[in-house]
A = this chain, B = another copy of it.
């Protein structure tokens, strides 16, 4: 199967969670909007007058005749196909639950630099962003990272994976979450690393997996920047 991923060019964004799964599995895929007129093709599919099941926003994935949108839903679809999710229903739901919790934090991180509106520049909502960032760093990051630390500690098959004894897409997504937070909030994450060693160790192990390491060193991996979800603004990470 040759997958077509549709996501905005120029940022890792939510598309990155899908890219990491495809890369780890060695799947054949095209990052459509990063090629030639792919951006226009993506917008035409979003417009939805020609598509029976249009997505509200990128990313979405095409696999033959199937079109799937919403990042966690794409991973739900890919999980068994890429062998990045357990076979049994209980394990699949648990993996998906963790992905949805990661997605919740990703949304909160986005709104930290855009607390008033996604349609306004960060520069138009700086004081509010600063106020919100204090709450993110002081309350929300410890709560979420503490949760994932506990999930790792409680895994009956050991603390090397979130689910069972094998890598799942939830591990890849937790890697991406930690990588993004380390870029955006280096000071806060340095402090938080001490009390969340299992989460940071998982990040490091995923980064060292051969296919992921290759990917991270390749031009396919875009750099973090201040256009994406994880943004480094020194004022938000004093």
Binding site for B on A (CB under 8 A): 48, 51-56, 66, 68-70, 72-73, 76-77, 90, 93-94, 96-97, 100-101, 104, 107, 111, 115-117, 119-120, 128, 131-132, 135, 139, 144, 147, 150-151, 154-156
Contact A48 B97 (CB under 8 A): no
Known A54-B151, A104-B107; further 15 A-B contacts with Cβ < 8 A: A48-B147, A48-B150, A48-B151, A56-B144, A66-B93, A68-B93, A72-B72, A72-B100, A73-B93, A73-B97, A115-B128, A115-B132, A117-B132, A117-B139, A119-B139
Which one, B51, B94, B111, B120, contacts A111 given CB within 8 A? B111
In the complex, which residues of chain B have a beta carbon less than 8 angstroms from the beta carbon of A128? 115-116, 128
Contact B48 A94 (CB under 8 A): no
Within the oligomer, what is the number of copies of this chain?
2
In the complex, which residues of chain B have a beta carbon less than 8 angstroms from the beta carbon of A139? 117, 119
Which one, B70, B111, B154, contacts A100 given CB within 8 A? B70
